[in-house]
Structure 1
Amino acid sequence: MFANLSLFDGCIVLLYMGAVLAIGVYHSKSNRNVREFISANRTMPWLAVLGSIVATEVSAATFLATPGVGYAENMNYLQFGIGSLLARLLIAFVFVGAFYAVNSLTIYDYLSKRFGGGTRYTATAFFIVTRLLASAVRLMIAVTGISLILNAPFWICLSVFTLVAIIYSGSGGIKGIIWTDVLQAIIFISCGIVLVGYVGYAIGWAEIFEIGAEHGRFEVFRFQPESADSWAWLNESKFFWVAVMFGFLSTAAAFGTDQDMTQRILTCRDVKAARRSVILSGFISIPIAALFLFVGIALFAYYQVSGEATLPSSVLADGSREVIADKVFPHFIASELPNGLRGLLLVGVLAAAMSSLDSTMGALSSSALVDLYRPLLNKEISEQQGLIVSRVLVCTFGLILASIAYALKDAEGFLWLTFQIASVTYGALLGVFLLGTLTKRGSDRGNWIAMLTAAAICVTLLTLIKLEYLQLGWSWLILIGTTWTFGIGALWHEKAPGSKAPGQESVS
């Protein structure tokens, strides 16, 4: 156990662990009430929030799984970034103003004030279920990589990793999470740059570009469907227009309807600062994705030169072996890097994973407290009681995430699995938030009916797609869910708890 970790590597890892725990403990002193624990009283500098957004968005799915896409496929994934950048403009100039206008701790509280409790509870339930599953996949990705690098059992790595994240997230609140994310973003971006430099030095830059070009790894845009069938593009998530559409819808849903991302946006001092952090994050996320795709291409070139015999692989039905692309990067860290550099890259894996795990636990606990615990119990609790409940919820959700991650440890296609989980409920959530911010229509009962039926439709369609009974790309599910929820919800028109749509109020 831990055979791949030298004393020097271990010291680097312990130094990192000590730093994140210290940040959490330091900020625990400033959490005097629930509002500070959840929103930092909206006092965070926008640059720190920007760093936290980048760290949360990147996660282990980018650090470990994106190189797998670059290794096995190409750079088509960058097409999603175009739609993602456009979506941030929508979020910045429509959603953020609406959320700041009602001064809510969570975005689902906004739905309560706009429509009523039924919409709020449905959206909260969708968020909790989706976020638990999607973030458990991210956690599983990280721990899989860590266990491969350390040559240690999955469950031991999972237990230690989750415990550290629970301690600093539960103590430091959103302030501790954001400042830890800033540190972690710097670490894992630096690791990507260092790794590319190492491989380039080892085999030569010309070799990387020559091999990558020869095998089509540098293809970014795909303007033609692979099949000649006139409807084939419906089943191709990497076809340019489909990819841009999915990037737009998934980012709009993530930034506008998912408390995991919006919680940090709502810690900015004012609307202008929040908008700035959202928009600039789009310009940063594309080059980061390109960096880690290039890591995968560089590793592909490296193993074309040195041979793939030692790479993790699975046996196909015909007896041949196929490299497991998602495990190439951690295998390279464990077997090819020298001491010191291995420890640095291990810290990069830890940083990428913790940046998504800590924010998830914080968002789940804040939403469970504000949107379920308080309104359903229908009683006031003291600030001290609220802090205790928040920290208990952080611990509870951390344990649930770890349990789901353990159950998913043998899943394959990590990056796309994360997207497919979100596609079931993101459409319903985006539809109801668009209804609230862009129109004065909708009602509490109509909304939850529209959301539940939209999710049921998307689950059915995804099942048919996975069973190959339906030739439709899963990326269409968000569009279907959004259109259905918005259209059905708009059929109702009742006076909301607030007579004016918050999204249309002025923001001072």
Structure 2
Amino acid sequence: MSAWLSRGQHNRKDYYLGGNSSGPLAIALSTMATQCSTNSLLGVPAFVAFNGGLVWLQYELGVPFAMIGLMLLIMPALRSLNLISVYQYVEDRFDLRARLLLSGLFLILRAFATGVTIFGVGLMIARVLQVDFLMAVLILMAATIIYDFLGGMKAVIWSDVIQIVLIFGSVIAAVVVAVNINGGIGDTLAIFPPERKQAIDFSGTGLGDGQTFAFWPMLLGGFFLYLAYYGCDQTQAQRSLATRSVGDTNKALFIGGLLRFPLVVTYCLLGVAIGSFAAYHPEFLEQLKINPDKPGEPDLNLAVPVFILHQFPTGLIGLVLVGVLGAAMSSLDSTLNSMSAVTMQDFIHRLTPRQLSDKQELILSKLTTVLWGVACLAFSFVVGGISDTVVESVNKIGSLLNGPLLALFTMGLLTKFIGARAAVVGLIAGLVSNGLLWKFAEDVSWLWWNVFGFVVAWVIASLFAMIDRQKPNEYTRQQNFRLELSSKTKRQVAILAIYGVLIGVGLSLV
């Protein structure tokens, strides 16, 4: 399929944006497949089963409202500029140094986060196929790099569409079988620990009390995280830039905002079933004590594959595990393509003194995809032990930059007095403050980093701008983004707002 889709590639824009020919439904499904990756399919059920329970669903409360923010401000402004890299806007609004700094930070942190993904999936493949870790990750990455190399963004989008159907179907099948193993939905819920059934947790603040997954950090931290991730992170925003129009971009965000919650609920239900099974069968945790780096401790990342291997019938084992592999590839393919896009647009194309032909740029684009695939594979050998579950590890890495990243973009869109030097100082201050929290304030929820980094970056940048008084560049003086909402977009915003409120009400009744 990727080889067939590559027939229309003539330049780097075709490779990275698919010729702006993809429809909103395909882009929405692709984006959702990337977000709901193997990190989620391995990490969230484990979290629900053995750690925090259904409070993970609080994380989803911010999604509809984040989509509204993106539809109203960030994505219409960026999509109208016909960008490949969202960080090109940073140079237009501020300067080249700000663009290169942000692009470099994105590449480094995304490479580490992708290494965590590869690590988690590699462990699963090694367990299933009875091969060593190196062979497992080589199997995974070889397949992903080949189809990403050939098909570019079109291959990413359409493979993700196939994979999200497979993911959703396999998770639903897994929930049905798991509940049946436990004796039905009644017995499954009866033995599941009561403290993990609560979906809303107002008992803490996450500000020094050790309550990482309390309501407020998950709601506010999740809101800022999703704003930054879907609007300012190249891995997600690149799909929104590949639409045919601003209206299609908003429609893709709208569809994603509606469909994401039902998918998350399904793999939370799988976690409930696994938690109940472990309560019935305490020996299950013994089967997870196979990590040589932590002898005697269960590796919760393997809860889903071990449960499937030991309890599911032949055939369904293959379906569910292929669904998990599909989820892994849907996350990796878009990440590698976006890292290649940033490398080409923000460094090679921007800094190369001589003009390259379209063919040369297309070849370089594909080669950088391969190089980042190899680099992320290497990172997977050094980033395995950040947190108990891979989903928390990936989110912690991303939360270092999310707040300052969002601050930089909103400074550019909402102000004219903040110049390049002030913006860079604010970005660095926000990133450093989050790093200090990680190092010295372990009792502060990492979800708050998304908020604190944003606030610190804005405050420091604003204060520095008052002292620095840097004159705005020509682009800043001329920019005038007007919020012109179509009647269709207004309806979509209203529906998402109501949907978000209904989710909150529903979770409060659980």
Q: TM-score, normalised by structure 1?
A: 0.89
Letter in structure 2 aligned against 1:183: I
Show the counterpart of 1:434.
410
Is residue 34 of structure 1 aligned with residue 9 of structure 2?
A: no
Shift of 1:321: 5.5
Q: Work out whether residues 72 and 483 of structure 2, in 8 Å CA contact, stay in contact via their aligned partners in 1.
A: no
Show the counterpart of 1:488.
460
Q: Work out whether residues 42 and 390 of structure 2, in 8 Å CA contact, stay in contact via their aligned partners in 1.
A: no
Q: Work out whether residues 84 and 250 of structure 1, in 8 Å CA contact, stay in contact via their aligned partners in 2.
A: no
Q: Work out whether residues 114 and 502 of structure 1, in 8 Å CA contact, stay in contact via their aligned partners in 2.
A: no
Show the counterpart of 2:35.
57
Shift of 1:504: 4.3
Is residue 479 of structure 1 aligned with residue 456 of structure 2?
A: no
Please state whether the residue corresponding to 1:75 is helix, strand or coil: helix
Letter in structure 2 aligned against 1:284: L
Show the counterpart of 2:507.
none
Structure 1, 149-158 or 177-186: larger mean CA deviation? 149-158
Please state whether the residue corresponding to 1:260 is helix, strand or coil: helix
Please state whether the residue corresponding to 2:2 is helix, strand or coil: helix
> Within 5 A, what are the aligned runs for 1:441-456?
441-456=417-432
> Residue by residue, what CA displacement relative to the aligned partner does 1:229-283 show, whole Å, maximum 9, x if unpaired?
xx655x4232212210011011011011100000111111111111111122122
> Within 5 A, what are the aligned runs for 1:87-486?
87-203=66-182, 204-212=184-192, 214-225=193-204, 232=208, 235-309=210-284, 310-313=286-289, 323-410=298-385, 412-466=388-442, 471-486=443-458
Q: Work out whether residues 313 and 324 of structure 1, in 8 Å CA contact, stay in contact via their aligned partners in 2.
A: yes
Inter-partner Cα distance in structure 1 for 2:436 and 2:196 = 34
Q: Work out whether residues 240 and 252 of structure 2, in 8 Å CA contact, stay in contact via their aligned partners in 1.
A: yes
Show the counterpart of 2:60.
81
Inter-partner Cα distance in structure 2 for 1:143 and 1:375 = 36
Q: Work out whether residues 56 and 181 of structure 1, in 8 Å CA contact, stay in contact via their aligned partners in 2.
A: yes
Please state whether the residue corresponding to 1:152 is helix, strand or coil: coil
Inter-partner Cα distance in structure 2 for 1:180 and 1:460 = 39
Shift of 1:329: 0.6
Please state whether the residue corresponding to 2:195 is helix, strand or coil: coil
Shift of 1:501: 3.1
Inter-partner Cα distance in structure 1 for 2:205 and 2:297 = 22
Shift of 1:334: 2.1
Shift of 1:171: 0.6
Change (3 A) 1:460 1:360: same
Letter in structure 2 aligned against 1:207: D
Percent of residue pairs identical: 24
> Residue by residue, what CA displacement relative to the aligned partner does 1:277-335 show, whole Å, maximum 9, x if unpaired?
112212222221121111011012123224425421389xxx99554322111111222
Letter in structure 2 aligned against 1:68: A
Letter in structure 1 aligned against 2:80: A
> Residue by residue, what CA displacement relative to the aligned partner does 1:461-500 show, whole Å, maximum 9, x if unpaired?
211124xxxx422222222211122223334252234123
Please state whether the residue corresponding to 2:212 is helix, strand or coil: coil
Shift of 1:449: 2.1
Please state whether the residue corresponding to 1:408 is helix, strand or coil: coil
Inter-partner Cα distance in structure 2 for 1:280 and 1:225 = 33
Change (3 A) 1:503 1:136: farther
Show the counterpart of 1:11.
none
Inter-partner Cα distance in structure 2 for 1:277 and 1:460 = 37
**Which blocks of at least 5 consecutive residues in structure 1 are unaligned?**
1-22
Q: Work out whether residues 137 and 408 of structure 1, in 8 Å CA contact, stay in contact via their aligned partners in 2.
A: yes
Change (3 A) 1:70 1:457: same
Show the counterpart of 1:47.
25
Change (3 A) 1:30 1:454: same
Shift of 1:507: 9.7
Show the counterpart of 1:17.
none
Letter in structure 2 aligned against 1:46: P
> Residue by residue, what CA displacement relative to the aligned partner does 1:115-157 show, whole Å, maximum 9, x if unpaired?
1211111111111112111121122112222222222211101
Change (3 A) 1:320 1:424: closer
Please state whether the residue corresponding to 1:236 is helix, strand or coil: coil
Inter-partner Cα distance in structure 2 for 1:504 and 1:226 = 37
Q: Work out whether residues 149 and 333 of structure 1, in 8 Å CA contact, stay in contact via their aligned partners in 2.
A: no
Change (3 A) 1:267 1:321: same
Please state whether the residue corresponding to 1:107 is helix, strand or coil: coil
Letter in structure 2 aligned against 1:297: V
Q: Work out whether residues 84 and 244 of structure 1, in 8 Å CA contact, stay in contact via their aligned partners in 2.
A: no
Please state whether the residue corresponding to 2:8 is helix, strand or coil: coil
Inter-partner Cα distance in structure 1 for 2:389 and 2:281 = 25
Inter-partner Cα distance in structure 1 for 2:129 and 2:474 = 55
Shift of 1:207: 1.1
Please state whether the residue corresponding to 1:32 is helix, strand or coil: coil
Q: Work out whether residues 403 and 451 of structure 2, in 8 Å CA contact, stay in contact via their aligned partners in 1.
A: yes
Inter-partner Cα distance in structure 1 for 2:445 and 2:281 = 36
Change (3 A) 1:35 1:502: farther
Letter in structure 1 aligned against 2:67: R
Change (3 A) 1:299 1:488: same
